[in-house]
A and B are shown apart, each in its own frame.
Chain A
Amino acid sequence: MSIYLPIAEVSVNALLLLGLGGAVGVLSGLFGVGGGFLMTPLLILIGIPPAVAVATGSNQIAAASFSGLLAHVRRRAVDFKMGAVMLAGGVAGSAAGVQLFAWLLALGQVELVVSILYVVFLGSVGGVMLAESLQGLLRTRRGTARRRRARHNWMQGLPFRMRFRQSNLYISAIPPLAVGALVGMLAAIMGVGGGFIMVPAMIYLLGMATTVVVGTSLFQILFVAIFTTLAHAITNQSVDALLALMLIVGGVLGAQLGARLGPRLKAEQLRILLAVLVLGVCLTLGLDLVLPPDELFVIDDA
């Protein structure tokens, strides 16, 4: 069952798109990541032009994160105050990222920089997460399980302290602002929501209570995704509504499933799973950079 996508201008199997949306949606609901870091490369892999893949991916992320967010709001697992502070940083970072993107575009090296960024961030985030989770798992096995939380570091002691009740924190507003800004900037350049960077940053850098991390991350991702979708639709006309619809139908159902599945799974195992996934994508992209390509020439579609 094929469907012709009006903006991408290719014909793709509809069931494949539904399945892709569903699989990424489950991850979104489980981990509080938008799934863009998987969705964008996969869409390009099945023949969607990169510009359309990035823009439409962000539209799908908006739907999936909204659906996931609602589920977390109902469980009171969202720290809106923390989310708002991070979002303020995110908007500023995103605006800066768009400028940086334009500069890279002029240099003709967007693809390279994006690939390297993916490899560096996915590699370090995945590595740290895997190491921490394995250590946690070992501690649990030895029966010395300890709740890792709110290690105080120098960042949290900076001025402008705020109380974040939901996160159970009384820390400076500067680290959340900075994390938000960094994620916003990367989102604009890499075409992702940034959850895969934000979730570990919230846990390890800010020391937030893990129960509110996913919901708060989805809150930030939702707004970043809306902003990105609008920006792409207006400047590049590269949002494919039909493609988005197919991904959304699969994605929102998957996200609901993931959000429900999450509490039943063990947090450490969940994190190992995400870490392995992130490292897998990192390895694939890294090999592409290093191995000699089959075809030396590329046609620029963008």
Chain B
Amino acid sequence: MPERRASLAAGRLAAAALGLAIALAGAASTVADIALPDGETIVPAADDSVLPALPEREVMPPPELAGERVVARLSQSSVAITTGFTGSELELFGAVYRERPPPPGPLDVIVVITGPSTPVTLRKRERRFGIWVSGREVEIDAAPSLYAVAATRPLAQILSHTDALRHRIGLDHVIRLVDAPEWLTDQREAYREAVVRLHRARGLYYLDPGGVRLDEETLFHTEVALPANLTEGRYLARVFLLREGAVIDATTAEIAVGKVGLERFLFALAHQRPAVYGIASVVLALTAGWLASALFRWLLP
């Protein structure tokens, strides 16, 4: 079928185009060393123009759907939090490799960005003696600090429940209450939903159905908005290729998010030399107080 052959040719073309796009994006983005809270420094790879070697695949698609593989790169491998940081836009480019003509039916792509997980303490307000007090707490072992999902179409239309669960895709599968306290019983679902709802309200969890643009079943592109209230650490971008509700291939990319410059300096000082930092804060305050007083006396005697 000529249509299929054209698609295959477009695939090879797309791979070349992808290489070019990545090279351009790499040149455009500023390269900065990112120091993570654990003291490790990430120096972004210099040769962003080279396509990455395909990693070992853990996805085993049904044989009739196998044969398509996904590659993806981010426009930048790090996000630097500067004094003027107001959030960031992550661009992800990708392409689908195939050895033979694609099977019939639509191809879909899901991109999931996950921030470093932290434990979260959740409390429910209860009314006692006419006032609202905080009730018992529930510790959730790990809640990602960011969870953004972009896809070619709404998740319900392209992803089976089994695979959503297996790969933890979608807001229903972000939080797991593994060892919840006994007294929670029938309230488990309410607590789990509350964690997601509260994170959504802060713009930290969100869905963007239709956020991934797939051209010619080969080349795809998405932009993910990172909010200003980012937690430092390693962020993971997972890219899933789907057919008939099943994940047929997946790949990952990492992004380091860290403070730089003044932000880094103040944060490090506050945590490594708290006494010095405290005294400096007080001295700064008193100096500012004296300066203002002197300034006013000079201006309005």
Contacts and interface: CB of A to CB of B under 8 A. Distances in A.
A116 B130 CA distance: 13
B194 A10 contact: no
A3 interface: yes
Main secondary structure of the interface of A (DSSP, over half): helix
A178 interface: no
Q: Output the residue of B232, B262, B270, B290 with the most chain A CB within 10 A.
A: B270
Interface of chain B: mostly helix, strand, loop or mixed: helix
Contacts of B288: 63, 67, 245, 248-249, 252
B272 to A, nearest CB: 10
Contacts, number: 181
Contact of B285 (A62, A70, A289, A300): A62
Interface stretch (A107-115, A130-138, A161-169, A190-198): A107-115
Contact of A67 (B82, B194, B198, B293): B293
Interface stretch (A82-90, A149-157, A235-243): A235-243
B261 to A, nearest CB: 10
B10 interface: no
A62 B297 CA distance: 20
A297 B122 contact: yes
Interface in B251-301: 259, 262-264, 266-267, 270-271, 274-275, 277-282, 284-286, 288-293, 295-297, 300
A229 B282 contact: yes
A2 B286 contact: no
A234 B274 contact: yes
Nearest to B128: A112
B70 interface: no
A7 interface: yes
Contact of B270 (A7, A245, A300): A7
Contacts of B197: 295, 297
B120 A230 contact: no
Interface stretch (A94-102, A199-207, A253-261): A253-261
A297 B198 contact: yes
A229 B270 CA distance: 12
Contacts of B84: 2-4
A255 B127 CA distance: 41
A281 B282 CA distance: 28
A296 B266 contact: no
Given A293-B132, A295-B198, A3 B83 contact: yes
A59 B284 CA distance: 9
B132 A289 contact: yes
Nearest to B138: A297
Contact of B137 (A2, A108, A229, A241): A108
Interface string A58-90: 011011111100110010000000000000000
15 contacts: A6-B266, A6-B270, A63-B285, A63-B286, A111-B134, A112-B133, A230-B282, A234-B275, A239-B270, A239-B277, A241-B281, A242-B266, A244-B281, A252-B289, A289-B132
Interface of B: 81-87, 120-125, 127, 130-134, 137, 191, 194-195, 197-198, 201, 228-232, 259, 262-264, 266-267, 270-271, 274-275, 277-282, 284-286, 288-293, 295-297, 300
Name the 9 nearest CB pairs between A and B, nearest first: A233-B278, A252-B292, A11-B228, A66-B289, A63-B285, A67-B289, A297-B194, A300-B121, A4-B85
